[in-house]
Structure 1
Amino acid sequence: MQVSDARLATARTNMVDGQIRPNKVTDIAILAAFLDVPRESFAPTRFRDVAYVDETLSFGGGRYLTEPAVLARLLQAALPRPTERALIIGGGSGYSAAILARLVSSVIVVEQDAALLAQARMQLAHVTNVTLRQGALVDGAADAAPFDVILIDGAVEQIPAALDAQLAESGRLVTVRRENGTLGRAILRERDGGALSTRVLFDAGTPVLPGFERGQEFSL
């Protein structure tokens, strides 16, 4: 039996109050965005009725919808501002873009999966400050760089040097770094005076995005 829209709305409020707030997310704009955006619209169809569980949801092919609390904490760490430009790598069906679009001036999403990109285009048709591109995730969007905020929406074994290069001065990149099958760690990467620094934020079990396994072209 399909869950009603009213019950899903209640589940969304419970997600914010029971998963996101207790995980130290206090930014009012971020909390409001998670309350506004219907996660069930972006979830894999078979998981629509359980869209607000505190776990990843599989699209298949090694692609997932990131856990709500992990996404919220990453966005809070990125300190998005209304005048800034953001890049999302692996935006999937568009959920993270729908959230981040409420927090910054413009968002570019790079997605290589054609089916996920088609779903994102449908769900984000009314969002005027999001641009969707199909392309290799590891390449980013160099022609539109630099970006103030970069979200890699999934885990990586290492961060591609090409994405580091697209981070603006004082820019922030957030993702989950996961190596050798160990538990992932969310990280904040910042550019200051041209130099990059990395800070570990919290543990996260987010799966690695296909194509982001360790390689010689990646940086620490």
Structure 2
Amino acid sequence: MSEQNFQAMRRAMVESQLRTNDVNDPAIIEAILAEPREAYVPAERRAAAYTDRAVPLGNGRALNPALATARLLVEVAPRAGERVLLIGAATGYAAALLARLGCVVVAIEEDPVLAEQAARQLRDRPGITLHAGPLAAGWPEGAPYDLLFVDGAVEELSDALIQQLNVDGRAAFATAERGVTRLCAGARSAGGFGARAFADSEAVILPGFARPKAFTF
């Protein structure tokens, strides 16, 4: 499939999936149109890169649906120069979008194969530092961050990640509960952390964020 084919598919995704679902921020649309999503999925799955579903990457992981990533971006409106902690870098797509928006990105991926793929894909991209390690631990060495961006769904956002946010720092993530995933946005204040769900949406489940099981007799 030619680059022209992929460009046409990218434009069609923006018009039919994103703009019809409240993704109209000009800077975010420009970043999505400029970034070749097909480069972040296995070669045999490139034709599915612009469908409205998660794209399997192997080992139980998948690239988050473009709509979920885009709506999270719109909700927290990343600004040029902000320091972003990206959780669930996978093959690097969300990191590339954040960098196109002018952010300084610290991206975390715990799957060694995906981390290696992301490192290759992002090796010439300024403003992105990739670390391999547990997603729920984040990267405290680089804290504090202006924005926490979790490109997937968690049962429970870890306190370790919240503590790496600036006071007044923002967070974007999805929650998973009883098979339903919801997009959420929140912020840290001097008194704690609060978040709200703003849309039901398919999102990939990230490892390492299971809610502790309640004790029963």
User: Contact between 1:185 and 1:203, CA under 8 Å: does it hold in 2?
Assistant: yes
2:205 alignment partner, SS class? coil
Q: Distance in 1 between matches of 2:202 and 2:45?
A: 19
1:25-69 CA-partner distances (Å, limit 9, x unpaired): 121110000000000000122211221111101112221101111
For 2:183, the equivalent position in structure 1 comes to 186
Matched, 1:74 2:72: yes
Q: What residue is the counterpart of 2:21 in the other structure?
A: 23
Please state how far the C-alpha of 1:151 moved relative to its aligned partner.
1.1
| Range 148-157 or range 34-43, more displaced | 148-157
Aligned to 2:209: 212
Within-5 A mapping of 1:152-167? 152-167=150-165
Deviation at 1:90, TM superposition (A): 1.0
Q: CA deviation at 1:154?
A: 1.1
Between the aligned partners of 2:102 and 2:126, the Cα distance in structure 1 is 12
The letter for the 1-side match of 2:85 is L
Give the aligned partner of residue 193 of structure 2.
196
- Structure 2: how far apart are the matches of 1:56 and 1:44? 13
SS of corresponding position for 1:198: strand
CA contact (8 A) 1:44 1:57 kept: no
Distance 2:2 2:156 in 1: 41
> What CA deviation, in whole Å up to 9, does each residue of 1:88-147 have, x standing for no partner?
111000000000111133000011111111111111122110000011111001111111
Backbone CA RMSD of aligned residues: 1.2
- Separation in 2, partners of 1:130, 1:215: 33
Amino acid at match of 1:212: F
CA drift of 1:212 comes to 1.4
Gaps of 5+ in 1: none
Secondary structure at the counterpart of residue 46 of structure 1: helix
> Shift of the alpha carbon at 1:210?
1.6
Q: Deviations over 1:136-172 (max 9, x none)?
A: 1110011111111111111100101101111112211
After the TM superposition, which residues 125-140 of structure 1 pair with which residues of structure 2 at under 5 Å, given as runs? 125-140=123-138
- 1:152, 1:199 → 2: CA distance? 15
Cα distance in 1 for partners of 2:22, 2:171 equals 19
> Are 1:57 and 2:55 counterparts?
yes
TM-score, with length taken from structure 2? 0.94
Paired residue secondary structure (2:100) = coil
CA distance in 2 between counterparts of 1:45 and 1:169 reads 42
SS of aligned partner of 2:89 = coil
Give the TM-score of the pair, scaled to structure 1. 0.93
Unaligned runs of at least 5 residues, structure 2: none
After TM superposition, the runs of 4+ consecutive aligned structure 1 residues lying more than 4 A away are none
Q: Please state whether the residue corresponding to 2:85 is helix, strand or coil.
A: strand
CA distance in 2, matches of 1:94, 1:112: 13
C-alpha distance in 2, partners of 1:85/1:194? 22
